[in-house]
Amino acid sequence: MRTIKVTQSASEKFPADCAVMTLRLSCEHKKYAEAVKDLSEKSSQVLVLLAGALLESNEIVTGGSAVDTVTREGKKLFRAHTEIKAELSVTDPRLFAAFDALEASGVAWTQSYTLKDDTCRTKLLGKAVDMARNAAETLAKASGVKVGKLQNIDYTSYGERPRVMRAMAMDAAVGAAAEPEGIELSETVTCEWEVE
């Protein structure tokens, strides 16, 4: 059986639908217990500020805390660190209150945008298959044959949602920095058709 195989990609920019705010907290002390205590207090302060922005506890994810040793000017210190993340829809009215809360924390944080709506990927897959079919028909016509039944489709999803990230500069222009950029998605398929 003769076949024709075409690999085709479809790409498009989609508006981001989710804002992810990430804080990385760390404290250094000579004593282990002081580092852990200081980190716990800082984490609690951030959580209180986010609760003040009306975020529910299930919307805030605290990464596991860890303590390691570092050497500064020949002295061994204990460094306790953790990560706190919150996700909100870009249309959620609490978003700017959450940004304000993070600014008030005095901790450096990053803001990223992602696309959670999987219908965008489905749209691109359909578009890629249509484009592959059109390319196969063009090649078949130029070769004096016709495209027959679809025999095989190869597709690998990488699963990772792309993000657009920004580090917040801790200034009053949070609103301007909060405008989400488009997220570029791309899907690739390889289709193989029988030729007649």
Q: What is the pLDDT of residues 145-158, one digit of tens each?
A: 999 999 999 987 66
CA distance 49 to 22: 14
Question: 117: which DSSP letter?
Answer: -
Mean pLDDT to the nearest integer, 60-84: 92
Q: Report yes or no on whether pTM surpasses 0.85.
A: no
Mean pLDDT to the nearest integer, 173-188: 69
Mean pLDDT to the nearest integer, 131-156: 92
Kindly report which listed range (5-9, 107-111, 164-168) carries the lowest average pLDDT score: 164-168
Answer whether residue 70 shows pLDDT above 80.
yes
Answer whether residue 160 shows pLDDT above 70.
no
CA distance 134 to 11: 16
Mean pLDDT to the nearest integer, 45-68: 89
pLDDT of residue 159: 52
**Phi, then psi, of 29 in degrees rounded to 5:** -145, 160
pLDDT of residue 133: 94
37 or 57: whose pLDDT is higher?
Answer: 37
Answer whether residue 117 shows pLDDT above 70.
yes
Residue with tokens 């003769």: 2
Mean pLDDT to the nearest integer, 108-115: 88
CA distance 175 to 196: 59
Q: Which two tokens stand for residue 78?
A: 């204990």
pLDDT of residue 171: 42
Question: Residue 20, by phi and psi: left (phi above 0), alpha (psi -120 to 50) or beta?
Answer: beta
pLDDT of residue 172: 40
pLDDT of residue 21: 92
